[in-house]
Amino acid sequence: MTYKWTGKLVGITIVILVYEDSAVHSMSDSQKRETKETVEEMFNHAYGSYMKYAFPADELMPLSCKGRYRGTEPSRGDVDDTLGNFTLTLIDTLDTLAVLGQVEKFETAVQLVIDYARFDSDIIVSVFETNIRVLGGLLGGHVMAAYFKRKRRAMEWYNGELLVMAKEVGYRLLPALNTTTGIPYPRINLKYGMEKDKLAQRHKDTCTACAGTMILEFAALSRLTGDPVFEEKAHKVMDYLWQQRHSSSDLLGTVINVHSGDWIRREAGVGAGTDSYYEYVLKAYVLLGDEKYLYRFDRHYNSIMKYMSKGPMLVDVHMHKPTSSARHFMDALLAFWPGLQVLKGDISPAIKTHEMLYQVIQRHNFLPEAFTTDFKVHWGQHPLRPEFVESTYFLYKATHDPHYLQVGRLIVENLNKHARVPCGFAAIKDVVTGKHEDQLDSFVLAETFKYLYLLFSEERDLVVPVNEYIFTTEAHLLPLTLSLVNSSTIETKVKTSLYDVNLDGPLLLDPEENSDQQTCPNPLHLNKGTTSYAFDIRTELKDYVNNVLSPGDSCIRPSPRLHAADFVISNREHQELINRMGIKISTMSDGRLQLLHSAGSAASKQDAEEGLEFMKEMIELSQNAQHDHQQEPMTVQFVSNPFHGSVSLKAGPAQFGYNLKVNPPIFGQVAIVTPYDACHTIQNPRDLEGKIGVLERGSCMFMDKARRLQAAGAIGGIVIDNNKESTAESSLLFAMSGDGQSDVVIPLVFLFFKEGQRLLDAAYEYPDLELLLTYTPKSDVVFNTANSEKAEPLNPGDSEKKEVPTEIHTKVQVEAPPSTESTQVESSSNDKSAELNTQATKHVQSVEALESLGKTTDTYSCSTQYGPAFLSVFATTLPGENSFTIIRNKDNTVDLRFHLFQVTENRKPEINTLYVQIVEILRQRTNFLLLEKQEEYLIALARMLEAAIFQVDISHDTGQNILKLTGLLQVEEDPIIISGPKDMVDGASHLYTSQSKDKNQSFSCKRTNPLLKFSERHCPLQKNRKVTKVDSIPQKQASDGV
C-alpha cells in the first residue's frame, strides 16, 4: 500500500487509509465472500432493471417497470428537480461499475452516456443535485476510465469525452453563482440559465448544504481541465458561508438568502440542510491540502459536539441561541456523521451515534426519514438511503470490529426481504407498514450498493485501489493526487515535508495551533490485537433505544417540544400540544387563522415557556414567508355555451398531482363537492365521476382533499378560498403544498374567493358548464366555432357542397427495406375526393373530426396539422387492439394515426387518457425508446394533442419537434420495449423488413435484449405472424377517413 498520500492529513485519515484488514473472527472468509457476491447480485438486479425498463430515462420506477422522465409523470414537487432528462441513473452509477470490477459493463455504460446524455434541455433543475450526481458522476467516470486506460485494463479508445461533458455541465451551472454574495441560486434552467421564467426573482433562498457542497467537484473540474473559474467560484462560496457563521457559536443556519446573506432559517444541525457542508469543509482539506479548511472544520466540530451532541444523539439547536433545542426529532441524513467523525479521527462518539441509529433500524428494519428524540417514527419514508451504510463501512475500516460486518449483513437481508421487487428495489413509503413507493433514486446504485460491496470486500480483490481516492458526498471517487495539481489561481498549501508518516501517532500540522480537537489516537494502536475498544463503548449503550429515558435524563435527551416549523394544523396531536402550551386557535373574519398565547392557560410553567418560544418561532416563520415568490398561474377557462372560452380565471398551481404546465389540459363539466370542504367522505361520487370538482379551502390538507376527489372519480379539482376578501387582483398566488407522496394524479388548482364566486355563479346559472384546466388560456374563436357547428350539424347536401369525400380507403405498406427510397402508398377514393388536393382533403377531415365531438357516446376523433405533419386520433368504446399507423404520402406529407379501443364509456375521453395511451403505443410499438431527446418529443406530442382537441395554434418549437419525430419514427411489427446504443438509431439499419408475396404485409426482425451485442445480420423471415392491416379497422371509424 502507498502511505505518502496520508501524511499530509495529520493523522486524520490514517485510521482508514493505512492498515490492511485483520482477520475477521465472527464472520468467516467464505461468509464474507458470499455476502459480497449477494450484494453484487442485488446491484445487478437493480442496474439490469434500470437498463431494461428505464434507460435512457433518469430514474427507474420499479413498481411500474418503466422509466421516469421529467414532465411525463405526476409531479412530486421539488423532488423532481433532480431530474433533467440526462440519463441521471446511468451517469451516477458509472464508478460503481468500476469499483465492483464490472469493467466491460463500465465501458459499455461510458459509451452509452457519451451517446445519450444531453444537458441542453429547457428544464429547471436543482444546482445541488446536478452538481453532486451529474457533474460528480461524470468526473468519477472519467477518473475510472483514465485509470483503466492507464493500466491497460480497458478503455483504450477513451479520449476524455466524459471530462468534456463534465466541463459543459460546469459551465451550465456557473450562471447560478452570479449573485452578490457568490452563493448559488438553488435552481437553474439547463438551456437558458437564470434568464427564463424569472428564476432569479423566484428563487432567492437556498440551503446551506446546497450552497456549500460544490468545492470538491468544482475544484476537481478546474484541476483536471486547467480552467480555474470553477474552483475560484467554489472557494468564494465557502469563504462567504464561513463569514456568515454566528460569531459566538460558530454554527450556521439551514437556509440563507443568496443576495443579502441573511439567515432565513436559523436552526443548526448536522442533518438535512447542512449535512454535506460540514462534510465538504473537512474533505476540502483532505483533497486540496488547504489548511484553512481544517481550521474551520475544527471550529465547527467543537461547537457541534458542545451544543448538539446529547449522548449518542445529535439534536438541532438555534445558531444564535445554541443552548436551546430547535426541534424534537432527528432526520436520517445525520447518519453520515459517524463516518465523518472517523475521517476526523474521533472514533468514540462515532461508535455511540452509530449504535443508537442501529438500534432504531432494528426496531423498524430501516432508518425512518425522521424519528423523535424518544425514538418514535416522525416521517416514515425510507428511500434506501446510503448514509448509515457509509458510516458502517468507515467504522469497520477504522476498528476492524466484525460487529459492523453483522450490521451490514442485516442491511443486505432487509433490502432483499422488504425492498426487492421484480423490477429492482423500491423505496419504502412507510417503515411501519412496509408499503412501497414507485421510486428508485440514483443514489441507491451510486452509494448504497457501493458501500455495501466495499464493506465485504478484501482490499486485494478490488480492481480499483479506493484508498487512493476520496469519496464525494455522492460516493464518487476523486484522486488524492489532485492536491498536487495547481490549475487554479489559488495556490494550495500542501507541504511535501509532511509526507513522512509516523504510524504510531499523529503528526501535528501546526504545533502553534490548539490541536486538542485536530486528531484522536488510532484505536487499532491503542488496542492492538483486540476489537474490545468498540465493543466496550457499545456495551454502555445496550438497549438504549428500548429503554425509555426518564425525565431526569435531561442532560441526555431534550424535551420533545413541538416547534413552529413542524406544526400541522390538521394534526390532532399537535393541537393538543399547543393547547398545553396555552395557545388557542381562532378564525379571523377574512378566513385566516390566529394564534393566541396566554401563559395562565398553560398546563405548567415549563409549558408556558415553551408556548412563548413557539410563538416567537411562528412570528419568525411568518416574516420569512414574505420571501415567498409569486407562482406561475394556471388557468380556469369557461369553454361551453355561452362563454366559448371568453372567460379565463387566474388560478394557483399545486406542488403535487397532474402537471398542467407540461401536460395537456383537462376538460370537463363542473360538479360541486358534498361536503363542500371535502374533508370527510364525499357523499356525491356519482355526480363527480368524470367531472371537475369544486370545493372550499380549509379544515384539512390540500392533499387530503385531492385524494378524496380522486377516489370519487373526479378528473380534477378547483379549491375556492374561504377568505371572503381575497381576490387575484390584490393577493399573491401560492402553490398548494403536498405531503411528499405521489399518489395523487389529478390536477388541483386554487381560486381566490372573488374569482371562485364568479365560477359558482356561472355553474348555478348553467348546470352543464364545461371548463378547461390549463396552463395558458386557449383561443375563444375555436370554442365559438366548435359549438356553433355542433348546434347545426351538416346534412348530406352540405357535405356535397363542401365536396367532402364520403369515404377514403387507404392501404399502406409501412417501412420498406433500407434500400427502398420511399414508402409505397395505394389509395382509392370516389371521384369527388380525387378532385381535391391532399392538403384540402386533410383540412376538411380535420373539420369533420371537430364536428363529431359529442355526437356519439362510443366514438371520438380529432386531428390537427403542422406543415406536412398530420396527427389524427380516433377513440372508441368498441373492443379491439390499439394500433398506430404511419402514412407517408407521395406529396411528402406524413400522417400519424392512432386508433384507441376500449376507451372509457359514456363520456368523451379525457385528454390525459388519450395522451397516456398514445405514449404507451409509441414506446411499445415503435423505435421511440431509441430516439434522443425523448422528453422534448413527449412534450411536443402533448401540445399537438392539445391543438388537435381544442384547435389552438401550434408553436414553432413544438412543430419543429413533431417534424423531427415524424422523420425518425418507425413502426415495429413486434411490440417490444427497446433501448440500446445510439448506433442502433441512426439510419434504418436497426429495423430489417422482408416482403412476402403478399404486398400488403411486411415483417420485422425480432430484437433481443438491447444491451447484448447487436447482430447486423438479417434475421430469417418469421412466418405465420399475425399482421394487422390498416383496412382491418372497423367500418364505424370511417369518420376518420380510414
**Cβ-contact 907, 858 below 8 angstroms:** no
Query: Which DSSP category does 132 fall into?
Result: I
Cis before 796? omega within 30? no
Cβ-Cβ contacts under 8 Å for 756 (sequence gap 6 or more)? 694, 718, 720, 721
**Cβ-contact 383, 441 below 8 angstroms:** yes
**Cβ-contact 425, 419 below 8 angstroms:** yes
How far is 717 from 703, CA to CA, in rounded Å? 11
Q: Which of 275, 474, 848, 910 is catalytic?
A: 275
In this structure, which amino acid lies at residue 913?
Answer: T
How far is 942 from 965, CA to CA, in rounded Å? 13
**Cβ-contact 782, 645 below 8 angstroms:** yes
How far is 273 from 212, CA to CA, in rounded Å? 10
CA dihedral 975, 979, 980, 981 (to 10 degrees): 120
Taking residue 220's Cβ as centre, other Cβ atoms within 10 Å add up to 30
**Cβ-contact 404, 388 below 8 angstroms:** no
CA dihedral 471, 476, 481, 487 (to 10 degrees): -120
**Cβ-contact 948, 101 below 8 angstroms:** no
**Cβ-contact 60, 68 below 8 angstroms:** yes
Closest listed residue to residue 111, CA positions, set 149, 152, 84, 145: 145
Closest listed residue to residue 662, CA positions, set 948, 936, 952, 964: 936
Burial label for 948, CB within 10 Å (0-12, 13-18, 19+), is buried
Query: Which DSSP category does 1026 fall into?
Result: -
Active site residue 161: no
* Residue 553 cell numbers, joined: 435524563
Burial label for 488, CB within 10 Å (0-12, 13-18, 19+), is buried
How far is 282 from 291, CA to CA, in rounded Å? 10
How far is 79 from 88, CA to CA, in rounded Å? 14
Q: Strand pairing partners for 479? A: 469
Query: Which DSSP category does 837 fall into?
Result: -
Taking residue 158's Cβ as centre, other Cβ atoms within 10 Å add up to 19
How far is 842 from 863, CA to CA, in rounded Å? 9
Strand, coil or helix: what is 98? helix
Cα-trace Rg, the chain: 31
Q: Which of 161, 369, 910, 972 is catalytic?
A: 369
How far is 44 from 420, CA to CA, in rounded Å? 12
Active site residue 369: yes
Cα 320 to Cα 247, 622, 684, 1036, distances in angstroms:
9, 19, 53, 75
Q: Which of 40, 73, 81, 129 is catalytic?
A: 129
Q: Which of 107, 387, 401, 936 is catalytic?
A: 387
Burial label for 526, CB within 10 Å (0-12, 13-18, 19+), is exposed
Q: Where are the alpha helices (DSSP H) in 483-636?
A: 523-526, 532-540, 572-580, 605-624
| Segment holding 452, helix H or strand E | helix 449-455
The residues annotated with a catalytic role in the active site are 129, 275, 369, 387
